[in-house]
Amino acid sequence: MRAIESLRLAWRSIRGHKLRSSLTTLGIVIGIAAVIAFVTLGASLQEGVLGDVSPDDRRNVYGWAAEPETEGGPLAGAQPVFSEDDLDEIEQREGVEAAYGYMPLSTQALAYEGEISPQSDALVAAGPSYIRENRLAEGRQFEQGEREAVINPAVAGQFEEDVSVGDELTVALQGGQRTTVTVVGITESSEGLSPFEGFEPSPRVYVPTDPFYTEDAAAAFPGGDSGGANNGSDGNETETDGNSNDANDALFLAIVVEAESTDDAAIEQAKESARSYLESEESDASALLDDGLEVRLQTSAELLQQLEDVLNLLQNFIVGIAAISLVVGSVGIANIMLVSVTERTREIGIMKAVGAQNREILGLFLAEAVILGVIGAILGTLLGLVAGYLGAWYIDLPLVYPLEYVVLAIVVGVLVGIFAGLYPAWRAARTDPIDALRYE
């Protein structure tokens, strides 16, 4: 029996039981669609989170100090230990282009045109290059020593009337003080600019460390609180717990060290230069590190890899659950093929009586199972691509189709058909023609 004839007979049998065949392939359709949809959403999420990091940002080295046993991501258990003098010294080290502090400052609310929006953690003090020019939708970077700010779209659209470049925004700080900043730039998205912020689309107002922290803020957080210090509204020092502090006493929760280039060797050199200084007795941080703290320095690539590993683990877990549907679908095909063998026992006997070989009977039923698997894979792939597109559109993620999974889905459909139909086909091929002709 020719292969084409086997396919024709298999297709005739499938069409003769349309409802049964449709329900049989449904398990394969759902399994393949779930896998494709979740993989698409996973790839789109990774692109949305990781793909937005520019090459310039990848040369950053992020540092913070925490107890050795502290687990978690960036800033987990972080304590303020880095002084302005430390940053100046690191900037002079070999392989370092720039070094600046990072400090989230506690706020109560943002106010614009008489409208108030409660915000507890909107203010971030950092260096000008923390917001790259290519991350700005409009305006420019802020400048050190100026009461300027760059905001993200979440802040710009927070009020009834959108905040624009050149507008003044009032920030209510913890303790009741208020300060006014001039908006000089708006970022292109509300996603976090670094692993410190977890890439979350929260409202953010980015300001220079000078004067918003080194001049205005108290030197340390009471009790080591990482929530930020209070700011003054006019450049004067603010007293906390009755103590006045000089600018040089301000300690940063974290630092950002920029390598001279994006080359891996250059980034590693900047990282080691910063580490060797911070762990030496020359640094102001070294005295505080003796209190059981250690400096943690990680490159952007290392931090992004950790995040990517977490996303991959989550995606694989969900895909594994979705793949259970494929097992259910393969059991369904095997069950229906066994029923088909029983129903067509007399037909098998007639074919053998007129000279059909065992391999031809085997090929006939195997072809039927493979057709069911391939149809399920094709329909499941199309459904999965549509579901992935709708999911990415709804969550507002850049759409990324993992095309290798489309090919894999077809292969899986064929394999599911083969393995599910192998035993029923083998059983049909071994049917005794005399017993088959007697079968009622």
Residue 2 pLDDT level (bands cut at 50, 70, 90): low
- The predicted pLDDT at position 237 comes to 37
Give per-residue pLDDT as tens, 140-164: 999 998 999 999 998 988 888 889 9
Helix, strand or coil, per DSSP, at residue 112: strand
Instruction: Answer with the residue of higher pLDDT: 227 or 289.
Output: 289
Q: How many residues are present in the chain?
A: 440
Nearest to 107 by CA among 178, 161, 159: 178
What tokens were used for 46?
């990774």
State mean pLDDT over 51-66.
Answer: 76
Give per-residue pLDDT as tens, 232-278: 333 333 333 333 334 446 789 999 998 888 888 888 899 999 999 99
List residues bridging with 115 in a β-sheet. Answer: 112
Residue 89 pLDDT level (bands cut at 50, 70, 90): very high
What tokens were used for 35?
């896998």
Given its phi and psi angles, is residue 131 left (phi above 0), alpha (psi -120 to 50 degrees) or beta? beta
Percent of the chain topping pLDDT 90: 13
C-alpha of 422 from chain center:
41
Highest mean pLDDT out of 38-47, 66-75, 104-113, 287-296? 104-113
Average pLDDT in the chain: 78
**Residue 80 scores a pLDDT above 80:** yes
If you ran DSSP here, which 8-state letter would residue 189 be given? -
3-state helix, strand, coil in the chain (%, to 5): 50, 20, 30
Helix axes 264-278, 84-91, angle to 10 degrees: 140
- The predicted pLDDT at position 135 comes to 84
Residue 166 pLDDT level (bands cut at 50, 70, 90): very high
C-alpha dihedral (35, 38, 42, 43), degrees to nearest 10: 60
Give per-residue pLDDT as tens, 315-329: 788 777 777 777 777
- The predicted pLDDT at position 216 comes to 55
Instruction: Answer with the residue of higher pLDDT: 52 or 316.
Output: 316
Residue 370 pLDDT level (bands cut at 50, 70, 90): confident
- The predicted pLDDT at position 141 comes to 92
Helix, strand or coil, per DSSP, at residue 369: helix
Instruction: Answer with the residue of higher pLDDT: 322 or 31.
Output: 31
- The predicted pLDDT at position 243 comes to 34
- The predicted pLDDT at position 227 comes to 40
Dihedral sign for Cα atoms in the order 148, 150, 153, 158 = negative
**Residue 224 scores a pLDDT above 50:** no
Tell how strand 178-187 and strand 148-151 pair up.
parallel
Task: Please count the other Cβ atoms lying within 10 Å of the Cβ belonging to residue 15.
Answer: 9
Residue 181 pLDDT level (bands cut at 50, 70, 90): very high
Contact 141, 128 (CB under 8 A): yes
DSSP per-residue string spanning 106-124: -EEEEEETTEEEE-SS-EE
What gap in Å lies between CA 184 and CA 410, rounded to an integer? 53
What tokens were used for 258?
């920029």
CA gyration radius for the chain?
32
What tokens were used for 269?
């050199």
Instruction: Answer with the residue of higher pLDDT: 211 or 307.
Output: 211
Dihedral sign for Cα atoms in the order 32, 37, 43, 45 = negative
Contact 78, 293 (CB under 8 A): no
What tokens were used for 402?
């993992």
What gap in Å lies between CA 172 and CA 115, rounded to an integer? 12
User: Which of 28-45 are b and which e, b meaning 16 or more Cβ less than 10 Å from the residue's Cβ?
Assistant: bbbbbbbbbbbbbbbbbb
